[in-house]
Structure 1
Amino acid sequence: MRRDVPLLLVLASGLALAACGQQTEPPASHARPTSSDDPRFQPLAAYDMPDDDGLAVGRARWTLARECMVRLGFDSLKDLDIDPPPAWPKRPAGSGVLMVVAYSSDNFRYGVQDPEEAARYGYQGAQAEYERLYPEKKWTLSEHLALTGEFVGDDPKTVHGHRIPKRGCLGDADRTVFGSNRQDRKDPILNLETKSLRQGMRDLAWKKADKAWSVCMRKAGYHYATPKDAETGRDRDTPELQRRLADPQYAPDEPTAPERKTAIADARCKQKTGYVRTVHAIDVRIQNQLIPKNRTKLEEQRRWNRDATRKAHDILEDRS
């Protein structure tokens, strides 16, 4: 299963107030790769929710959230289109809070890889992928708060005379489908995927791949030790963040020219040095080592996902 995970960083008056990650449902249109030669292949994915199940869970979740919103007085949302499930609701612009959103996808686990895609999206390929899969809808502030329960400062905790449930209507739906809010539960798959990357980056072969990539980048005029440094691009991000803080309405639709040029060079150097093939092999090896050591937790997660899938199908059948 591929994950698209927006991380929401809430900023107001230049101060970080809160941060939370919202995991979305996997897309149904992408089959899980089965060949270890495919850089998208991850051994841990065998314990994750299959794509079709994820789509059913997403529909059930938004079905319940839509019903909850109508109960809270949002009658105009009774016919909200939830197929495919909408993107995670963003706080509307002009509400006095700046939200910086970071996106993650298994397709970009080792960073940008395709020069043509880099020329179009820079380092925002994961965001573009997410937006293709999950249609974005503009919400009013009251709708956003009622859906998410993401309160900042003096945000009202009630709407139309009704108290907003914990974590909003989407959180209420999660408690019905999953039995709890997913943000409150540690996902061993995500934890082990992160652990595998961290261990892999300490591997001598991975460091050698980083060095070869870095040498290639220097020849192209860039001085980054690792692909992550290039993606983070502090030399590019600092002025960008300053502009966002100075003007909350500023929301560029396209990556900047410097970002695109860096991403193109990054992808080309990965291809020239065989970077992805090397680090993926290390990642797969480490995941295969981690699985038997954590099989109990992984099997529990698989059962949890299956229970949620059965519940989701029951919800959808009851309303068909």
Structure 2
Amino acid sequence: MRRLAPVCLALAAALLGCSSGSGSDEGGRPAGAAKTPTTSGSSTERLVTYSNRLPMARYSYTVAENTAIESAQHVLTRRCLKTYGIAYEPPKQPSDTTRPADRRYGLSSASEAARFGYHPNRDAAQLPEGPRLSKDDLTVFYGNRGAPQGSGEKLTYKGKDVPDDGCFGQSVSKLSEEYDDPAGAAVASRIANGSYQDSLSDPAVKEGFRKWSACMRSSGFRYASPMEPLNNSAFQGDTISEKEKETASADVRCKEKTDLLDIWFKAESEIQKTDIEKNTAALRKLLTAHHKKAQAASRIVAKG
């Protein structure tokens, strides 16, 4: 048996998101009202949500469905680890419920811009804890994900073979293989990503960019579109400069002045509606698969 290798605990956070199959920018269920009161730092502002209100959002998992699926994955993982004599309790989720502002169309929060510039909201950047297991037990948890690259040897633990993807990977696959709809997910991803790209060519959005750019110039900043400052290398280091904060604050202020965010959202929504009409059957099948997977997950959790 080859010696089991240590695992990067950061992988836990990445794997915990396996259930939904869609990025956060594609959203969850519609969040209700467009403007949701929230507190960021020392000031209170009304943060506008866009990702969760786009038409494609209804084809993502709900928060409750994601929670059920992740819980089921941990139940199955615990059962698997138990067969190796390993006791396991799922890691606790971060207690801080601070949510970052929607950034599908770049910065949208004045308070975040003033505090963090173009950097992520550090108050909302907590990741779930990794599993509290020993080095050898972690490799049973992760399988070859935690093994040295290129070893190619079969993992064993106390004489018993370990699944290639470990107990956790096997648990994720158990639900995915039976209920996931890769074809439907590919359609949803194509629409959600394509609609953003297509929105950049929408006449109303381009006119919004022009007005936003003119507003930025009046504040002493020369950018043709809101994507440009996001890609400014000077704003991507470890520190947040005053120039970055000033630029970011002007960015949000000009979006509010020109109504760019709402214009952009409306344009992309219309693009998505058209694409959804062309792919109704595939998306309905995907939604059915989501419901069935969440229901199966709930049954697993109920049995413990």
TM-score (normalizing by structure 2):
0.70
Q: 1:278 to 1:317 in 2, by over 3 A?
A: same
- Distance of aligned partners of 1:222 and 1:74 in 2 relative to their CA distance in 1, 3 Å threshold: farther
Shift of 1:141: 6.8
Q: 1:119 aligns with which of 96, 114, 120?
A: 114
Q: How does 1:94-243 map to 2 (within 5 A)?
A: 107-125=102-120, 128-129=123-124, 131=126, 134-137=127-130, 143=138, 146-147=141-142, 149-150=144-145, 153-154=149-150, 158=155, 160=157, 164-179=162-177, 186-237=185-236, 240=237
Q: In structure 2, what is the Cα distance between the partners aligned to 1:224 and 1:157?
A: 54
**Structure 1's 269 and 280: CA in aligned 2 closer, same or farther, altered over 3 A?**
same
Deviates more, 1:171-180 or 1:52-61: 171-180
CA shift for structure 1 position 54: 1.7
Structure 1 gap ranges (5+) = 1-9, 11-18, 86-104, 241-251
Query: Are the structure 2 counterparts of residues 309 and 205 from structure 1 closer, same or farther at C-alpha, using a change threshold of 3 Å?
Result: same
Task: Find the counterpart in structure 1 of residue 7 from structure 2.
Answer: none
Deviations along 1:119-173, whole A, 9 cap, x unmatched?
2333344675453xx5334877763784375466357873645655344433312
User: Secondary structure at 2:114's aligned position in 1?
Assistant: helix
**Residue 318, structure 1, aligned to residue 294, structure 2:** no
Specify the alignment match of 1:16 in structure 2: none
- 5+ residue gaps in structure 2? 1-9, 36-47
Q: After TM superposition, give the deviation of residue 310 of structure 1 in Å.
A: 1.3
Q: Do 1:196 and 1:283's aligned partners in 2 also have CA atoms closer than 8 Å?
A: yes
From 65, 76, 79, the equivalent of 2:89 is 79
Amino acid at match of 2:263: T
Moved more, 216-225 or 291-300: 216-225
Q: Partners in 2 of 1:177 and 1:79 — Cα distance?
A: 20
Corresponding position of 1:302: 287
8 Å CA contact 2:107–2:113 kept in 1: the answer is yes
Instruction: Rate the CA distance shift 1:178–1:184 in 2: closer, same or farther, 3 A.
Output: same
Deviations 1:220-263 (A, max 9, x none): 333332222211223433xx4xxxxxxxxxxx5x7555543332
Q: How many residues align?
A: 263
Amino acid in structure 2 at the alignment position of 1:228? M
Q: 2:140·2:167 contact (CA, 8 Å) conserved in 1?
A: no
Residue in 1 aligned with 2:259?
274
2:29 and 2:58 in contact (8 A); partners too: no
Q: What letter is aligned with 1:111?
A: G
Distance 1:167 1:305 in 2: 23
Amino acid at match of 2:222: H
Deviation at 1:51, TM superposition (A): 2.0
1:195-214 Cα deviation digits (max 9, x unpaired): 11011111121112122222
The alignment-based identity, stated in percent, is 22
Aligned CA distance change for structure 1 residues 177 and 235 (closer, same or farther; 3 Å): same
Q: In 2 relative to 1, CA 58–124 (structure 1 residues): closer, same or farther, beyond 3 Å?
A: farther
**TM-score (normalizing by structure 1):** 0.66
| Distance change in 2, residues 1:44/1:288 (3 Å) | same
> Conserved in 2, the CA contact under 8 Å of 1:60 and 1:312?
yes
Alpha-carbon shift at residue 272 of structure 1 (Å):
1.7
